[in-house]
Amino acid sequence: MLEKRFRYDTSGIWCKGNTHIHSTVSDGAKNFKEIADLYASAGYDFLFRTDHRVVSESAKDEGKYPLLYLDGIELDGKDETGAAFHVVCLGSISGISGKTEDFVDDLKLVRSQGALTIMAHPHWMGNSFDDYKRWQFDGVEIYNHVCQWLNGKGSGFVYWTEALKNNPEVLGFCADDAHLTTNHPGWNGGWIVVNVKECSAKNITSAIRSGNFYSSCGPEIHSLSLAGDELHIKTSPVQFVRLVGQDWQGIRVGNFEGRMMTDLTMTVPVDWPFVYLEIEDGTGRRAWTNNLFTSKRNIQ
Ligand SMILES: [Zn+2]
Ligand SMILES: [Zn+2]
């Protein structure tokens, strides 16, 4: 049996990015230059290109950008049960058909090429918990900004926590799914922040794989460290801090009087099946770690 160990190493630098955007290559309104300029202005260091059914080949792009582009794609279609999926795939991919009717074959091919697969906006899709279980995606979108805008179904939390029961390694992602059209103008509503030695494509990919990142709709995590079972956390000013486990399991620090915290220590219940950190600022915006513990051998 593999030993559980603390997932996080926050001794490097933090790089902000988004794992889900659309450009004029599919149904987005802005080209890669316009998107890069916009996101760089909000402090982003990297973006994954995840246009619908079109493989990204950023290495062949001669454009100069103020941030790093990484390859991805968003696949959609139905599996053999008839359930419909959108799946964000992070990584360089080749040889897929990209046709909706070839979804299952494409998904298998993408996985064989080592790409990370993320169940996109499951509440908006009307997915079931079994839909996750059949495919065991590497991650689940816990917040999707455009779906929140479209009909308030941006949250994927119940899917993620349900998935964590059987797969404590499944990662949670906040994402924009930005289209930047007149009808869907939202962006910089949900993102991830990875901790890396330097902000290179290789390091970012490795940090995402090992879960050495947090997801946010606002607050910042500055450092996370564990000594024994004491978790030391430094953050931007937050009103509530929670350790969240399975079902009713939870420990919280906070108040309803508006006092803010930036530095605290909490005792982590190491015997819970999984436990992640949630912080909440004075406006209700939240950020989340992945499961604080991993059993994977190859972490950063
Ligand atoms: Zn989608
Ligand atoms: Zn999308």
Ligand nearest to the CA of 26: 2
pLDDT in tens, 173-201: 999 999 999 999 999 999 999 999 999 99
239 contacts 254 by C-beta, under 8 angstroms: yes
Ligand nearest to the CA of 120: 1
Ligand nearest to the CA of 180: 2
How far is ligand 1, taken at its centre, from the CA of residue 285, in Å? 23
231 contacts 277 by C-beta, under 8 angstroms: yes
CB atoms within 10 A of CB 257: 6
Predicted confidence band of residue 2 (pLDDT cuts 50, 70, 90) = low
Residues at Cβ < 5 Å from ligand 1 ion:
86, 120
Q: Please report the pLDDT score of residue 1 as a whole number.
A: 56
Q: Is residue 210 part of a domain?
A: yes
Q: Please report the pLDDT score of residue 297 as a whole number.
A: 66
Q: Please report the pLDDT score of residue 296 as a whole number.
A: 80
Q: Is residue 126 part of a domain?
A: yes
pLDDT in tens, 286-299: 999 999 999 986 54
Q: For the chain, what is the domain count?
A: 1
Q: How many angstroms separate the Cα of 171 from the Cα of each of 68, 88, 159, 227, 294?
A: 22, 13, 11, 23, 11
Q: Please report the pLDDT score of residue 201 as a whole number.
A: 96
Q: Is the pTM of this model over 0.85?
A: yes
Q: Is residue 229 part of a domain?
A: no
Residues at Cβ < 5 Å from ligand 2 ion:
74, 177
Q: Which helix (H) or strand (E) holds 202?
A: helix 201-210
CATH number at residue 118: 3.20.20.140
Measured torsion, CA atoms of residues 81, 86, 89, 92, in degrees rounded to the nearest 10? 100
Q: Is residue 150 part of a domain?
A: yes
Q: Is residue 270 part of a domain?
A: no
Q: Is residue 255 part of a domain?
A: no
Residue 133's domain comprises 13-217
Q: Is residue 293 part of a domain?
A: no
Whole-number mean pLDDT of the chain?
Answer: 96
pLDDT in tens, 144-177: 999 999 999 999 999 999 999 999 999 999 999 9
Q: Is residue 69 part of a domain?
A: yes
